[in-house]
Structure 1
Amino acid sequence: MHLTPWHLRRLALVCALSFLSYTLFRLKQYTLVYEALIANQSAEVLGEYVADFSNLRKLNPTILEFYVTQEHGNYEHWQYSVKYKEFLSQLRFITNVADAHVQVLPSTKTRPEFIIMSHHVTCFMDSYFTCVKSESEFKFVQRDEDTLCTEKVLFQCPAILAGFCQREVLYQREEIFNNLKRIFETKQD
């Protein structure tokens, strides 16, 4: 088979477009850490509140509906799975469906922080072909009378949409933390 200049140009164009598509649309992993100090509150009380997904829905306004699919364990190690539907804060007409697996680890004498770990698979526009994964570790640590709340989120996103995904994750963290502060500051009064 003899390659003509036309075939070589076409092959080079296909290779260049393939490389460009791979570079722009490949899933990359990103990390975001968000923390806040909530005054005059117990780490246990805050951790238990956030661990209950019905309360998380109050904290995160993007969650539209949810249902718990599985639950087991005890107070020392509680686990549950949940399916939920949410919208994108920047494009409210786009909804996602997600499956989350959550582990709740209350503080002990050897581990002073209350921890909520979760793994999520989020599929955009209700399609199981456009899914991304994320992990969250939410810690509540008692600091005298106050509680330091820290959430570390690892999330996947196509490289071309990195800024959009970062804003979406940041928006949700800000809403969760601000609403948590508002709810618990109101409870003090």
Structure 2
Amino acid sequence: MARIQWKSCRTLGLFVGLFILYLCIRVQNYEHKAFIFLPTTHPNEVWEFVADFSNMKYLNPTIIDFDIVEEKGNYGHWKYSTKYSEKLSHWPYLPNHAIAHFDIQGDSKTHVYYINSTHRTCLFMGIYCLNASSEFKFTNSNSSNGAVCEEFVQYQCPSLLSEFCKREVVFQRKSIMNNLRKKFAERKH
């Protein structure tokens, strides 16, 4: 009888362990939106600055290093891919590595500029990878002179770590927007 109880407990423990593992690796999709207004700034100035990935180390403090691996196009429609490494803001001991593809388009007639990107971020030496995408839009303000910068991010995260991922995304997006605000405020003085 004790042997049957032991097997039942072990089987139950195995199922509970597998269920917890499933919750740890099960991925769900999440979204985040960010917005800033930069007075007396033309949207193409901000677009050009953000489109240049070398400025990302200034905008996003989690980025450690990067390499541009492919590039093509012209000023109106430019595409490039980059490999980059970053540390997590809330747990800097776990670096991750990503490959991102950027599609950058601008229309000087309508003053609407886009940076669309997809990112594949891998952790644990590339064993566990997650996807994200971003649409960053730069337009003129209808009511006053300035640039409206809007970003819509979709990202994957394990269900069990959703709050951690959300804090990480919010930290990075706030850093980018605040550093953009600071950059273009400094320029005006």
TM over 0.5: yes
Aligned residue number for residue 119 of structure 1? 118
Aligned residue number for residue 89 of structure 1? 89
Aligned residue number for residue 138 of structure 1? 136
Does the Cα contact within 8 Å between 1:88 and 1:95 map onto a contact in 2?
yes
Structure 1 segments of 4+ aligned residues over 6 angstroms from their partners: none
TM-superposed deviation, 1:9: 6.0
Q: How far, CA to CA, are the matches of 1:178 and 1:108 in structure 2?
A: 26
Report SS of the residue matched to 1:106: strand
TM-superposed deviation, 1:180: 0.5
Q: Which runs of 5+ in 1 are unaligned?
A: none
**TM-score normalised by the chain length of structure 2:** 0.89
Report SS of the residue matched to 1:155: strand
Q: How far, CA to CA, are the matches of 2:13 and 2:33 in structure 1?
A: 41
Give CA-to-partner distance per residue, 1:17-50, whole Å, 9 cap, x none. Answer: 4334323430111101111111111111100110
Report SS of the residue matched to 1:34: strand
Q: How far, CA to CA, are the matches of 1:92 and 1:10 in structure 2?
A: 36
Root mean square deviation of aligned Cα: 1.8
TM-superposed deviation, 1:5: 7.3
Give CA-to-partner distance per residue, 1:105-145, whole Å, 9 cap, x none. Answer: 11254x652110011111124x1111111101101111031
**TM-score normalised by the chain length of structure 1:** 0.89
Q: Which runs of 5+ in 2 are unaligned?
A: none
TM-superposed deviation, 1:66: 0.7
Q: How far, CA to CA, are the matches of 1:94 and 1:16 in structure 2?
A: 27
Does the Cα contact within 8 Å between 1:44 and 1:107 map onto a contact in 2?
no
Q: How far, CA to CA, are the matches of 2:173 and 2:126 in structure 1?
A: 25
Q: How far, CA to CA, are the matches of 1:47 and 1:26 in structure 2?
A: 35
TM-superposed deviation, 1:16: 4.4
Does the Cα contact within 8 Å between 1:33 and 1:152 map onto a contact in 2?
yes
Does the Cα contact within 8 Å between 2:23 and 2:158 map onto a contact in 1?
no
Give CA-to-partner distance per residue, 1:143-167, whole Å, 9 cap, x none. Answer: 0311111111111111111101100
Pairs aligned (count): 184
TM-superposed deviation, 1:11: 4.7
Aligned residue number for residue 127 of structure 2? 129
Aligned residue number for residue 26 of structure 1? 26
Q: How far, CA to CA, are the matches of 1:175 and 1:19 in structure 2?
A: 36
Matched, 1:168 2:168: yes
